[in-house]
Amino acid sequence: MKSKAPAVPALAPERPEAATRQRRKEARPQELLQAALELFVEKGFAATRSEEVAQRAGVSKGTLYLYYPSKEELFKAVVRQNLSNLIAEGLEMAGQFEGSSSELLGCLLQTWWERVGNTPAAGIHKIVLAEVRNFPELAQFYTDEVIMPADALFSGCVQRGIDRGEFRAMPVHEVSHVLIAPLIFMAVHRHSFGCCPVHGGVEIDPAAVLNTHLNLVLRGLEVRGAAA
């Protein structure tokens, strides 16, 4: 591979190897973060070896350290990157909505599941839950970037429903919590027990749970529950 290079003079742009290498070089951080995310989700922070991350990203151990000065920093970068993504997703789906507040919340939760809960990136929740106490700085970060925006989003929708007379008057933050908790829980579950083959376990059909959840909670929220 090395000594054959001089045999092919200067066809640089046509050489797929060079093209690949270039493309690879720029994609390195992405690939490393991707590999690290997968492994951290699979095995946790401590049980993931640096070399495994490098291998899965197709580089050598040394190269990993060219991009991230330590395993801790790599971990933080993984969390940061995926948190940014989460935020982006959140804002994206917040958007403008015309219909009823029940429909809005249903749509929001449904979308969250499809775009976050059901994707590999959801595993980030698992790691963060497990490791915040070992990386205290992440707590503030995660609170600012995820918990508070998400709460604001959902609380806002609940408040909208109350303001429009669709929902009963209820404490919005608590409702917000009750609304998201089962989804996050389910998402986390998929990355722990969901990956372990057990005999006789309770099969969870996410769609069914989501439907039931909405069915129960929205009905519980709606004011016409008493009226009808």
Partner DNA sequence: CATGAATGAGACTTCATTCAT
Partner DNA sequence: TATGAATGAAGTCTCATTCAT
* Separation CA 167–CA 90 (nearest Å): 23
Q: Could you tell me the smallest distance in angstroms from the CB atom of residue 64 to a second copy?
A: 18
Residues found near a second copy in the complex (CB under 8 A): 42-47, 126-134, 136, 139-140, 142-144, 147-148, 151, 170-171, 173-175, 177-178, 181-182, 184-186, 188-189, 191-193, 195-202, 204-205, 208-209, 211-213, 215-221, 225-226, 228
Q: Could you tell me the smallest distance in angstroms from the CB atom of residue 31 to a second copy?
A: 23
Q: Could you tell me the smallest distance in angstroms from the CB atom of residue 28 to DNA?
A: 5
List b or e across 135-144, with b for residues whose CB sees 16 or more CB atoms inside 10 angstroms: beebeebbee
25 binds, among DNA, a second copy, none (CB under 5 to 8 A by kind): DNA
212 binds, among a second copy, DNA, none (CB under 5 to 8 A by kind): a second copy
Closest CB to DNA among residues 31, 89: 31
189 binds, among DNA, a second copy, none (CB under 5 to 8 A by kind): a second copy
91 binds, among a second copy, DNA, none (CB under 5 to 8 A by kind): none
* Separation CA 66–CA 76 (nearest Å): 16
